[in-house]
Amino acid sequence: MKTILVTGGTGYIGSHTVVQLLNAGINVVILDNLCNSNKAVIQRIENLTNKSPYFVEGDIRDRTTLRHLFEQYSCDAVIHFAGLKAVGESEENPLKYFDNNVSGSVTLFEEMLRVNVNTLIFSSSATVYGNPGVVCYSESTPLQPINVYGQTKLMVEDILRSLKKSKPDFQIALLRYFNPVGAHESGQMGEDPFGTPNNLMPFISQVAIGTRPQLMVYGNNYPTPDGTGLRDYIHVEDLAAGHLAALNHLGPDNSFITVNLGTGRPYSVLEVIKSFEKASGKTIPYEVVGPRSGDLAEYYADPSFAKTVLGWEAKLGIDRMCADSWRWQKNNPKGYL
């Protein structure tokens, strides 16, 4: 039976992936410093799977923790979710992001090398494309991140491309996520941001449950059909399944892949609001304000390579994304607290 180290495994995408790994009969060791997640997630994972992941509370930058972990558990692969992801904060505090996301990743990779764990899946992001002048991004679209967070993701991608050259035995998947949303169908696991949500879906959910009075729609003068921004939202369960597909695909003959994980079908802010209202039966009050700095009008994935190479494609549409987000929010008005 395989054992996989999941860094950031108590976080939003990590927790959903851990459930799918455990359900697939894979042992899981979670390493998370809980800087953006709650330990209560573990109990939810156990409720959903009747299995227990091993949990190590610690930091990917802490070499001693990593050494102990790799001594204690014989890991076959690593799925590396741990990272900071707030674009605005990354601009205000770039060193925090380079330290956590880049130095932390380097420390993790060094310790993997020491113990010959050479299979890795890395959480990259559509942010690595920046503002390339096209709206449909394929994996060969030029990479030019426009914020520090995106730079950290591109730097880790570059580090892994170099590592692969120097250590051909490494098997690496770089997965570029578009806009993950939704929650586990059970309503027991979902996104639980600390403080004010930066992202659209958790903000709408909190308006629907009454935690916040209204949504601010960032701009309605974009060159899009209804003037609001268009994004490629992808259900977190589809995204988690993409990791299992990547894990199955990697092997000596398929040892380095870079794949977009999106649906290829973008939705506008107003369309998301409408779909959420339908799912929840609630009205979402909103006010249109000016555009948010750094936002693009529109972008979405070309998901065809994922289908060809991994046999994976997203199955769940916007109505299901909203229904599952709402079920999670309704059952857990204060998140995991």
Catalytic machinery residues: 149
Let me know how many helices (H) and strands (E) the chain has, helices first.
12, 15
* Angstrom distance (rounded) from CA 55 to CA 32: 8
269 binds, among ligand NAD, ligand WQD, none (CB under 5 to 8 A by kind): ligand WQD
Backbone angles phi, psi at 237, to 5 degrees: -70, -40
85 lies in the binding site for ligand NAD (CB under 6 A): yes
102 lies in the binding site for ligand NAD (CB under 6 A): no
Nearest alpha carbon to residue 7 among 89, 108, 96: 108
**For ligand NAD, how many residues bind (rule: CB under 6 A)?**
28
Near ligand NAD by CB under 6 A, which window of 82-90, 156-164, 206-214, 249-257? 82-90
Give the sign of the dihedral formed by CA 176, CA 113, CA 31, CA 84: negative
* Angstrom distance (rounded) from CA 287 to CA 49: 41
The least CB distance from residue 195 to ligand WQD, in Å, is 13
Token pair of 182 as six digits: 């939704």
Tell me the angle at which helices 269-280 and 200-209 cross, rounded to the nearest 10 degrees. 40
60 binds, among ligand WQD, ligand NAD, none (CB under 5 to 8 A by kind): ligand NAD
Pick 170 or 222: Cβ nearer ligand WQD: 222
117 lies in the binding site for ligand NAD (CB under 6 A): no
Which of 77, 82, 207, 259 forms a contact with ligand NAD (CB under 6 A)?
82
Query: Among residue numbers 186 through 225, which ones bind ligand NAD (CB under 6 A)?
Result: none
- Classify burial at 334, counting beta carbons within 10 Å of its beta carbon; exposed 0-12, middle 13-18, buried 19 or more: exposed
Transcribe 12-56 into DSSP letters: HHHHHHHHHHHHTT-EEEEEE--SSS-THHHHHHHHHHS---EEE
| Whether 76 contacts 51, CB under 8 Å | no
Q: Which residues bind ligand WQD (CB under 6 A)?
A: 85, 87, 125, 127, 179, 198-200, 203, 215-218, 229, 231, 269, 292, 295
13 lies in the binding site for ligand NAD (CB under 6 A): yes
100 binds, among ligand WQD, ligand NAD, none (CB under 5 to 8 A by kind): ligand NAD
258 lies in the binding site for ligand NAD (CB under 6 A): no
* Angstrom distance (rounded) from CA 40 to CA 335: 10
Query: Among residue numbers 15 through 54, which ones bind ligand NAD (CB under 6 A)?
Result: 31-37
Pick 97 or 203: Cβ nearer ligand WQD: 203
| Backbone torsion region of residue 216, taken as left when φ is above 0, otherwise alpha when ψ lies between -120 and 50, otherwise beta | beta
Instruction: Spell out the residues 6+ positions from residue 291 whose beta carbon is closer than 8 angstroms to its own.
Output: 218, 219, 221, 222
177 lies in the binding site for ligand NAD (CB under 6 A): yes
Residue nearest to ligand WQD (CB): 229
The least CB distance from residue 54 to ligand NAD, in Å, is 15
231 binds, among ligand WQD, ligand NAD, none (CB under 5 to 8 A by kind): ligand WQD
Pick 167 or 292: Cβ nearer ligand WQD: 292
246 lies in the binding site for ligand NAD (CB under 6 A): no
The least CB distance from residue 172 to ligand WQD, in Å, is 19
